[in-house]
Homo-oligomer: A and B are copies of this chain.
Amino acid sequence: MAAPLKELPPKPTVSDIIKSSKPAEWRQLDPANTLYMDLPAGRVIIELAPAFAPNHIANIRTMATEGYWDGLWIYRSQDNWVVQWGDPNEEKPKSLGTAKAKLEQEFTVPMKNDTQFTRMPDKDGYAPQVGHSNGFPAARDPKTGQTWLAHCYGMVGVARGNESDSGNGGTLYAVIGNSPRHLDRNITVVGRVVSGMPLLSVLPRGPAPMGMFEKEENWVPIKSVKLAADVPEAERSKFEVMRTDSASFKAVTEAQRNRGGPWTKYAAGHVDLCNVPIPVRETK
């Protein structure tokens, strides 16, 4: 016989909390830290996290402003792993313009660089402390004094070769599967897809090793990647993100940690960092 189940009392859901949140608990995307990646199927919007990767993000801004990705490709889609874009032409790569070709890694940064961390009480196997920093899932280790962004679904990282300094931000990927937290502290993570994940996550998986598309005809063209600040204000996508240091976000986290009835029969009493939704909504 199964264990007896008692009914849980109903409680506010994430959706209820979003509805009752106050306007001051949201912030608009900062145009200097927002990328628009326009694909034939629509727009992917990436929020950048300069507190965690200032040098790579400066480089990425340069590349966006100079049109580096315009006409380049998504050329990798690996199931339960990542979708990756940039320049697949290894023999005749596109010029990086005035952007730097190599940058020292920013896998972790000093905790003092990040002033907006809100810690979750939940334990985590990959880090001594986890929580959120200004809209991003983050982790930290007080012993080393370092903090870093966590590899959750939708997070965007800088692809690299074996050398720590072999990435520059020109080749980026987004996580499309179970959160590969073992990549934490091994990759410079630069931000998060805040809109348009389904344009990336549904791309057919590449047949070659690591999900690469072998045939150029299968590459997905990138029309352009623009910094929102370079787009006239009237043409910008308008999105806002719930402040992760707000009371409503704390309530969102609790709603996910201990869901109420009637559907839920067992409240987990725990929420994994990557299972906390970070609410984003379009505004007028």
Contact = CB atoms under 8 A, between A and B. Distances in A.
Interface of A: 2-3, 5, 79-80, 104-109, 122-126, 144, 146, 152-154, 161-162, 164, 177-182, 184-186, 197-198, 201-205, 256-257, 259, 262-266, 268, 270-272, 274-275
Nearest to A258: B182
Given A80-B153, A182-B268, 5 more contacts: A2-B107, A125-B271, A164-B265, A186-B264, A202-B203
Nearest to A256: B182
Contacts of A122: 125
Contacts of A109: 2
A162 B263 contact: yes
A162 to B, nearest CB: 4
Contacts of A201: 79-80, 177, 201-202, 205
Contacts of A182: 256-257, 259, 268, 271, 275
Nearest to A80: B153
28 contacts: A3-B108, A3-B144, A3-B146, A5-B164, A79-B197, A80-B201, A107-B265, A125-B125, A125-B271, A125-B272, A126-B270, A161-B263, A177-B177, A177-B178, A178-B275, A181-B268, A181-B275, A182-B256, A182-B259, A182-B275, A184-B268, A185-B266, A186-B263, A198-B204, A198-B205, A201-B205, A202-B202, A202-B205
Contacts of A178: 152-153, 177-179, 274-275
A109 B153 CA distance: 31
Contact of A180 (B164, B266, B275): B275
A81 B152 CA distance: 14
Nearest to A163: B262
Contact of A270 (B125, B154, B179, B203): B125
